[in-house]
Amino acid sequence: MPQKTDIEWTDATWNPVTGCVKVGPGCDHCYAERFAERWRGIPHHPYEQGFDLRLWPARLKQPSIWKKPRMIFVNSMSDLFQKEVDRGFINQVFDVMESVDWHVYQVLTKRSSLMLRYVQERYGGSRLPNHIWLGVSVEDAAHTGRIRHLKAINSKARFVSFEPLLNTVGDVDLTGIAWAIAGGESGPGARRMRQEWAVEIRDICQRDGVEFFFKQWGGPRPKSGGRALDGVEWNGFPWKIVPAPILEQIRQ
């Protein structure tokens, strides 16, 4: 069964892949690695292997078991587009997302070029189904090229997670992006997010017509600094791109 989650912008998580390797400064204090490594060496625990890469074929059936539509964060404990993940297994994950189409799937990656290549090979120039949302994680201006890769994908449901936000992203162009999430880092050694970096993204979203969600200030714990930016909770969500039959069920 997909797992319930405390992540504010989704309903559940589904992890057919677990484990990852670091690819940038946004990975330095990875929450998923920290959680998984706590259980390394514990026999029969799902993270007995710690944060080493593992594919879970038995979990591919999980979305079909959950009958009520949900927003599902795919691979909250990994990155589907790692080079080491077999292409055939990625195909199986997409097969499930396409066929079990009463959920919305949110797929987030830092391997934006590999995601773009995969989508081009699978779909050609065709538009992705609106219930499959593809996103990239961007921590600073040095990694905004991931947004260019994302915008090359034919989809109405593209999103960007600016979390952990470690520096300014500059005057990035977000036209064509449906949704942006911003938030500070949390956990041991969390790096501080400055207010002007978050305000910059909010203002760009307002300029470019993007729904803006401010997740957290971060700190020792996710809730340490609260969720208010300039005294307001920003809960923007791209409801207009959620397919109508799914939207009706989710809002019941």
Whether residue 52 lies inside any domain: the answer is no
- The string of pLDDT tens digits covering residues 232-242 is 999 999 999 99
**16: which 2 tokens?**
């057919």
CATH of the domain at 79: 3.80.30
CA distance 117 to 98: 18
What is the rounded average pLDDT for all residues in the chain? 96
Return the H-helix or E-strand segment holding 93.
helix 87-99
Which pLDDT value is given to residue 69?
95
d(CA 84, CA 201): 33
Assess if residue 112 is contained within a domain. Answer: yes
| C-beta separation of 243 from 237 below 8 A | no
Is residue 164 one of the residues assigned to a domain?
yes
Judge whether 20 and 30 are in contact, CB under 8 Å. Answer: yes
Please indicate, yes or no, if residue 95 is contained in any of the structural domains.
yes
Range of the domain at 82: 3-15+60-250
Instruction: Assign 1 a pLDDT band (cuts: 50, 70, 90).
Output: very low
Average pLDDT over residues 161-183: 98
Residue 110 lies in a domain: yes
**Would you say residue 114 lies in a domain?**
yes
At 53, is the pLDDT very low, low, confident or very high (cuts 50, 70, 90)?
very high
pLDDT digits (tens, 9 = 90+) for 15-39: 999 999 999 999 999 999 999 999 9
Question: Are 86 and 118 in contact, with CB atoms under 8 Å apart?
Answer: no
Q: Which residues contact 75 (CB under 8 A, 6 or more apart)?
A: 14, 15, 16, 17, 18, 107, 108
Number of domains in the chain: 1
180-233 pLDDT, tens digit per residue, is 999 999 999 999 999 999 999 999 999 999 999 999 999 998 888 999 999 999
Domain membership of residue 34 (yes or no) is: no
